Amino acid sequence: MPRIDLNVPFAEKDEAKRLGARWDGERKVWYVPDGVATNVFGRWLPREPDISVRSSIYFIAQTINPCWKCGEHTSAFGFILPAGHEMLEPDDEDDDRDAWCRYDEPTIVHYVTDLLPGVVARIKAFSRHYCVDFSKTTQSSYWMNHCEHCGMKQGDFEMYCEPQGAFFPMDEHAASQIVLHEFAEPFGCNGGAVYGNHLFEYMRRA
């Protein structure tokens, strides 16, 4: 049975310890040790992400992009979903609920939050520089790229929405610089979807 990690605020760490939680100094997280009942840790148990985008298959897209701050070339990552992914949309027949709608063209997702734990594990295996941070521009926190050299945030708008951005190629050559790593497993997040001609067919499969 996989270990259960806990979301324990610093101010509540002594109480968690008293109830039997243990501290993993390497991963910097409290967890439930074997043989200890989980019911006493209810308030700290991880919640299921509240997702609005899902797919049974996804790609981690990888490319190189110059940092706007230091000018050095740094790795950049994003998520591409193939045709057949779904998004929650307002239900035309019921204003009080949403319905899953299927899309028959691929998309790039941006301003990503609430990633499924399995996807988090995958992206962390690629880079520690793609992580959640606060954006003054959007006044929100989301998963974003950071420069490998100077640590500066690399905002999603320039990468995904501006022509010639890291994930907005304008020609076949630029698209071929993007490498796609495929995972035949569930993807889920909250975020926005970018549609249009992103020349997906010219991106390289790993």
What are 172's two structure tokens? 């076949």
What confidence tier does 126 reach under pLDDT thresholds 50, 70, 90?
A: very high
- Phi and psi at residue 5, in whole multiples of 5°? -90, 150
pTM of the model: 0.77
pLDDT per residue over 44-55, tens digit each? 887 767 899 999
Q: What percent of the chain has pLDDT over 90?
A: 76
Burial of 105 (0-12, 13-18, 19+ CB in 10 A): middle
